[in-house]
Amino acid sequence: MSPHIGLGGLEPRRIRRNLAAVRLRVVMTLGGRKIVVLAEDGYEDLELWVPYYRLLEEGAEVVLAGHEKRIYSSKHSYPCEVDLVAADLKAKDFDAVVIPGGVAGPDKMRRHKEILSFVKSMDEGRKVVAAICHAAWVPISAGIVKGRRMTSYASVRDDCINAGASWVDKECVVDGNFITSRFPDDLPAFCRAIVSALTK
């Protein structure tokens, strides 16, 4: 009879090595990073919550913000209670801003000067600005897309071009600190690009 007692007949030493290898594989890469996800009524559910939880999974501190401190309702009536108001956001406190789409959400968001000012200051500080789908309207209104490569939902293409951007039909476009994607199907590439940009 073997003197070694372990799970599945493995020696304790081998079990410890295997557990250490598992821990290495799940090391969180964004510890110490702080990210804000913007919310507004009519936001696209997946485009807000997938990046939110994906970035939390990587160890980032993720906060939700809107132009008012209240609960916002998604296009499918899912609630989002924000932590902060946009007027209190300071670019020096964050490493990235994620702007979800949803037609109504970004259209309302771009009407608030405090949101546009924050997005612009994030870009000026070379912090990550990530927008998906119709959220392209927000960086357009913030005046940061001229001369940049970007993508968006197809119906926003002309708005991007008219604002001076070079529009491409691609799942994710990275132009320096500026990250854009087209629609929910692109979320895996969108989230990978954000994580990659924040680990450089």
Examine the residue annotation and report whether 133 is marked as an active-site residue of this protein.
yes
Please identify which residue in the block is written with the tokens 């296009």.
75
Examine the residue annotation and report whether 160 is marked as an active-site residue of this protein.
no
Checking phi first, is residue 143 left (phi over 0); if not, alpha (psi -120 to 50) or beta?
left
Residue 184 in contact with residue 47, Cβ under 8 Å? yes
Round to whole Å and give the CA distance between 193 and 190: 5
Which one from 67, 80, 133, 172 is the annotated catalytic residue?
133
Which one from 67, 80, 134, 191 is the annotated catalytic residue?
134
Residue 65 in contact with residue 50, Cβ under 8 Å? no
Residue 57 in contact with residue 31, Cβ under 8 Å? no
- Catalytically active residues are 133-134
